[in-house]
């Protein structure tokens, strides 16, 4: 096989289409997928081969919906959007068991209570002093970890609730 085939197999849009083809045989071919997406075959090939450096956001939305692959939307936001690059969000679906354990760990009652008390101590006077900034950084890091765990669960939930998968 040529280099193009190898590169295609590594592309998120190609992988998403092939995974979705397990539930919709029309998606096995670029011809079938491009018809359902309202794209030309060559345009879809450009997306899947990485020839198009930034896939238009409306096309990412179409593929994410047709392929039941919310990770495409999250990946676009995280890797292409300047704002999304700075926001903690999951871009891949991981095992449901691991997500659940991370959520339990992140939302530990003692951990939340300690964070709440620290935040009250930092903010109660309306001024964040230099000596309070390290603790505020620690709290923001904890919130980022919580947001990441939540976004992982949202990806799985969105995919399962759409109905193409029995579970994870």
- Domain ranges, ordered by start, for the chain: 3-86, 96-162
Query: In this structure, what are the phi and psi dihedrals at residue 95, rounded to the nearest 5 degrees?
Result: -60, 140
pLDDT tens-digit readout, 141-150: 999 989 988 9
CB 16 within 8 A of CB 71: yes
pLDDT tens-digit readout, 6-15: 444 689 999 9
Determine the Cα–Cα distance for residues 75 and 72; give it in Å rounded to an integer: 5
pLDDT tens-digit readout, 25-55: 999 999 999 999 999 999 999 999 999 988 9
Q: Is the pTM of this model over 0.75?
A: no
Of 82, 20, 64, 27, the C-alpha closest to 155 is 64
Phi-psi group of 16: left, alpha or beta (phi > 0 → left; psi -120 to 50 → alpha; rest → beta): alpha
Of 68, 67, 92, 76, the C-alpha closest to 17 is 67
Alpha helices (runs of H) in the chain, residue ranges in sequence order: 3-10, 12-20, 30-37, 41-49, 57-66, 70-79, 96-106, 109-123, 133-162
């Amino acid at each position: 096989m040529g280099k193009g085939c190898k590169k295609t197999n590594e592309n998120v849009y190609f992988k998403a289409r092939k995974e979705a083809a397990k539930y919709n045989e029309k998606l096995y071919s670029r011809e079938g997928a491009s018809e359902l997406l309202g794209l030309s075959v060559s345009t879809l090939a450009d997306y899947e081969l990485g020839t198009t450096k930034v896939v238009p956001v409306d096309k990412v939305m179409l593929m994410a919906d047709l392929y039941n692959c919310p990770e495409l939307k999250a990946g676009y936001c995280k890797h292409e959007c300047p704002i999304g690059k700075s926001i903690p969000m999951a871009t891949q679906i991981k095992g449901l068991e691991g997500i659940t354990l991370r959520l339990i760990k992140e939302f530990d009652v003692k951990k939340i209570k300690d964070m709440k008390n620290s935040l009250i101590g930092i903010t109660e006077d309306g001024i964040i002093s230099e000596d309070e900034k390290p603790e505020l950084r620690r709290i923001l890091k904890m919130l980022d970890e919580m947001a990441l765990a939540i976004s992982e669960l949202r990806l799985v939930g969105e995919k399962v609730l759409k109905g193409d998968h029995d579970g994870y």
